[in-house]
A and B are shown apart, each in its own frame.
Chain A
Amino acid sequence: MDSNPTELGAKPRTNNKNNQQRRNQSQRIVRKLPPRAASDRRNIYITSKTDFKAQQKRCEDLLNAGAKEIYLHCMGYSITRGLNLALRLIQNSDGALSYAINTSTIQLLDELHPLCDDDDITYRKRNNSALHIKIYNSSLFDIVVPKLPAQPTLSGIGHNEANTKPTQTQRKTQQQQQQQQQHKKPKHK
């Protein structure tokens, strides 16, 4: 069974209409890789080909491993997919995660490869809408309390722990249990 949920969204442009036009044209359209703002592990680019479950697991693993925030970038047809993924992540987190969304327009450049010897290669510029979803851990648990400068510190680590403890006790017990569970996971790994 396909694990992808059915998605309703704008269909990609590589449909019959374009292809029929292409046959009459004297060019072949070659699309290029869209530019990436940053490419490290925390920036996830959503594609329509990758398995939905796999993408979800990748995000969850990153968050469980202690990443404070991850960014989902999606463009064009995969925007619906990105939104679905973000909502699923937040739904599964029981309120631990929040999100912020930005939209943008991405400039894409297509190459028009000639089909006869006399033409030169030309370009076609087009724009595509993109969505950047930031998913971050909204819990207060991670707030770092600044050290007081006046206190003489014999053992900095022990002091930090002592400072964080009162903040924990103020919180609701239910949430605490959940978050401790979440927080412990990476330590075991």
Chain B
Amino acid sequence: MSTQKLEYDASLGGEVALPSNLPTYHYASGALNEIKTMIAEAQKPVSSKLIFQSLPKHMRRRAMSHHPNRLPRKYRSAHKCQMAKAGNQPVAPKRPSRKYRRRAKNLMREYMRRQRNHIWLETHIWHAKRFHMIDRWGYRLAYASCDKTYRACYRASSEHCLVQDISFYSCVQLEGSLDQLRTGFGRLTSPECGLGIAAKTYMSGRREGSIQLFADSKYPSCALQRVLFMWRPEQQPENQTRRTLWLWLHPAGAEATIAQLIKVFQLKSTKQERLPLPYDTDALVPSDALSKVPLSVESVEQQAEGSNKQPLRFWTYTKAFERNRSYANADTGLQMVHIKHELNRFRLTGPRAQCVLAASLRAYRKDREDGAPDDLRLGDTPGQALEPADYCEAALQLSSPSELLSNLILSVNVVDPRLQRPSKRSKAAKPAASLVNAAQLHLSQPKQPPHSDLWDPEFRERLSKQMMAQHKYNQLRSLHAIVPGQRCDFEDQLQPLPLLLIQRPGSQQAQYKRLGYAAGWDVIVPARYGMVLWQTLIMWGARPGGLREFDSVARESGIDHYLPDTVAGQQQATQTAKERRAQYFRQPPNKRCNYRRLSVVSPFVAPWHSLVRDWSVEHYKDTHGYFVLRNRELLQCLDGCVRRRQEFPETISELCLIQIEVRMHARGKLKDNALICQPTPSDWVRRRQQQKHDEHEPVHTEPLQSDLNERLRKQLRHQHKRLLKRLRSRRVREKRKLQETSTKRVHIRPARTGPLISEQFAKMCDLWLPSDPTKKHDSVRRQCSREVFGYVTCAGFSFVEAAVCGVGYITARGLRQLLQVRQPGVPLLCLVRNEDSRDYRFARIQINVNVSAGA
């Protein structure tokens, strides 16, 4: 040890006392500043060099600035950005040739890229060739056919067969003990809205049910959506404890509903699990986890508190990729799986759906080689239970689906639908004389409930894996088919396909809408088989429809998919309001109708909150909000009031909206967002006079109001124009001055008045539109010369009624007032006025008892 070397200590630098503690915030503030400067530097490099100049010499290439492909890939985007800023565009990359693009590999890659933003259904490409596609609810969906098929689709739904792909309905599988499910759903729904989830009629799995879900114990407000559900039939009758259930959720409210389910059942995502580690073994992966093949395993060991005798060790198991999101509750054993891309659901509407299905589905029978249905033995032995396949065949022979048990579920194994196609597109023939009687058929239901292999996830996977691809099938056919169009031997080996058929009863109230309209079948098809069945259905004469038909069928049957208090309804309302507003301001000012002069408070969206506020006597609180009346008993009471002049029920809440159907009598068009108003005695007198003289003029015309903003708008416009002119002349002067001194030609400076103009536009928009009733507390009820007590949400000409019909919502007190002044001997009438018109006309009101008939 050398002692000559001086150490840095007291002898050299004097005494240094190290502090016993260091204030970390001083240190942290210093570090923070450092980090800030570092980030700022990284974001905005000070060096003024271009990207390719900053490269080392050996990496530079000739004409690098011109051809970005000569740069390393990670610099290309930055380089392009720099070049674009400087104003000189680099050479645009050539679009690859069509031949290259259409190569199978490249095409598939392109499809995968395009599916990243919006999910495609299985029939997407078929639809994209024939339909207008729109983005809706995270999917890319067919809206309407490119052909003019509006009326044809109505005819199909009422007399033939309309087929729609509604696979965007997401399926959620719940598995757990019956009591848990019953109590859990008891919190989410109310017995007043109809049968619960565990009703006996649904538990066997023979029928599909539907319930209205609300946020956790918030009934009647905070409605989520109407949910279709079906129970899995029990395998053994004694095994009653654990049951499985499928919920079919509309995509608009699916996420909200799943969040509520997670909250109620206290579920946790199984994407990241904390599993206890067996102490004695060193193996990290337990046997059950091995089967799942984890892609990334992190192991985190934790020492438990010292009080525990055995130190507990955990490891966290993370699935990198989950095909179906799954959740579980470890304590109760309840499991939830969000089944995605595994099931397709096709909706067939119309009486001929029977023929189309009967023609395209042939039950797979092992014992009978030919598979041809022999004569049904129904007539011989009435009351005897049929085999499921026989029953299905017999059911499809009836003349209309609505003759069957409502919401019946049938499970069939069918032969591959590719074998059932006609050589040409043709209408499925009707059975010459239906041997089957609906009454007999009801008595001879199969003994066992509809068991299906589709409930088994492994089976579903195997099924889609073993499916013969269309390409392979075509190849084999070209090899083996000697006579075109004839059957081949290999076709007998195609695997059978399990399907679930669900009957939809359509309209069940004869007084409300035509009995049995919109009846049909829903077909649940496993993954990859969607296109196969779809094409077969189309070949048998079913008419494809899109989302527009979804809405038009609902309107024809007098129901509303988007109730204004549900998630889907609110979403829809805001979206359409935005579209209407944009549309309104796209028109030139002299083509816009002035809503201030028409005294319409809220032209683009129905102001339910303010409407309910204005009609409630008690002090209205915003926290409660409005809700749609779904209590069936109360609705039936109200229907009795309207039809049979019974007494108005006292127990109705003031905050509720009542769904009604509005029908115009003789003339007049009804549009969305029309006002529903109370008639005054003078209107009744006028009506009587008009009836006497057979006149059809509107009963009352709204007097035009003066628009105070008109002068303001004019002033503002003149000011703005003057300002723009001044700026322009300033720029011209500048340019001239420069031109005098310069030898070259000088261009005028760009205007850059964008922000100015948009500010002016926003100001103008405010002056054009009436003030928002929620902000200014303007009265919605007394906005015009007749008291407003409701709004129409969707309206149009209905072919079923041969009249203009619409679905609307009115307040309970408004209805009461209307009932008090109703005239004897006339059906209940109200006044309606479109939001862009001054004419009031009488329209008939009917109450919809079955509020959420269509899910």
Sample of 5 more A-B contacts, CB < 8 Å, known A32-B515, A115-B195, A117-B195? A19-B644, A31-B515, A32-B516, A35-B434, A119-B200
Complex: how many Å from CA A118 to CA B198? Answer: 9
Chain B residues within an 8 Å CB radius of A30: 406, 505, 508
Contact of B402 among A33, A38, A120 (CB under 8 A): A33
Contact A120 B508 (CB under 8 A): no
CB pair A32 B511 closer than 8 Å: no
- Asked if B834 CB lies within 8 Å of chain A CBs, one says no
Residue of B nearest to A125 (CB): B439
A90 to chain B, nearest CB (A): 27
Bound complex: CA A33 to CA B505 (Å): 10
Segment of A59-67, A106-114, A156-164, A169-177 engaged in the interface with chain B: A106-114
Is there a chain A Cβ closer than 8 Å to B569's Cβ? no
A111–B403 alpha-carbon span in the complex (Å): 10
A39 to B355, CA, bound (A): 13
- Map CB proximity to A onto B178-198 as digits: 1 under 8 Å, 0 otherwise: 000000000000010001101
Near A by CB (< 8 A), chain B positions 152-209 give 191, 195-196, 198-201, 207
Contact B437 A33 (CB under 8 A): no
Q: Is B510 interfacial (CB 8 A cutoff)?
A: yes
Query: What 0/1 pattern do residues 104 to 144 of A give for CB contact below 8 A with B?
Result: 00011101011111111101010000000000000000000
Count of residues in B whose CB is under 8 Å from the partner chain:
34
Number of interface residues of A (CB under 8 A): 28
Known: A33-B515, A35-B398. A120 touches B439 (CB 8 A): no
- How far does the alpha carbon of A86 sit from the alpha carbon of B351 in the complex, in Å? 27
Q: Does chain B have a CB within 8 A of A11? A: no
A16 at the interface (CB under 8 A from B): yes
Q: What residue in chain A is nearest B510 (Cβ atoms)?
A: A31
* A interface residue numbers (CB < 8 A to B): 14, 16, 19, 23, 30-33, 35-36, 38-39, 49, 107-109, 111, 113-121, 123, 125
Decide: A32 near B398, CB < 8 A? Known: A109-B439, A114-B199: no
Q: How far is the CB of A120 from chain B (nearest CB, A)?
A: 5
Contact A33 B405 (CB under 8 A): no
The 10 closest A-B pairs by CB, nearest first: A33-B516, A117-B199, A33-B402, A36-B399, A109-B439, A121-B201, A107-B439, A120-B200, A120-B201, A30-B508
Find out whether the CB atom of A109 lies under 8 angstroms from the CB atom of B442. yes
B200 proximity list for chain A (CB < 8 A) = 114, 117-120
A-binding residues in B (CB < 8 A): 191, 195-196, 198-201, 207, 351, 398-400, 402-403, 405-406, 430, 433-434, 437-439, 442, 505, 508, 510-511, 514-516, 519, 636, 640, 644
Query: Which residues in B have their C-beta under 8 angstroms from that of A111?
Result: 405-406
* B107 CB to nearest chain A CB (Å): 46
Q: How far is the CB of B198 from chain A (nearest CB, A)?
A: 6
Whether A39 touches B399, Cβ cut-off 8 Å, given contacts A30-B406, A114-B201, is: yes
In the assembled complex, 12 residue pairs joining A and B whose CB atoms fall closer than 8 Å, in A order, are A19-B640, A30-B406, A31-B510, A32-B406, A32-B438, A35-B403, A35-B438, A49-B514, A109-B442, A115-B195, A120-B200, A121-B405
Chain B residues with CB under 8 A of A120: 200-201
| A107–B437 CB distance below 8 A | yes
Q: How far is the CA of A114 from the CA of B405 in the complex (A)?
A: 14
Q: Whole-angstrom distance between the alpha carbons of A49 and B514 in the complex?
A: 9
A142 to B406, CA, bound (A): 47
Q: Determine how close the nearest CB of chain B comes to the CB of A48; give it in whole angstroms.
A: 10
Among residues of A, the one whose C-beta sits closest to the C-beta of B514 is A49
Chain B residue at minimal CB-CB distance from A121: B201
Asked whether, in the complex, the Cβ of B199 is within 8 Å of the Cβ of A32, the reply is no
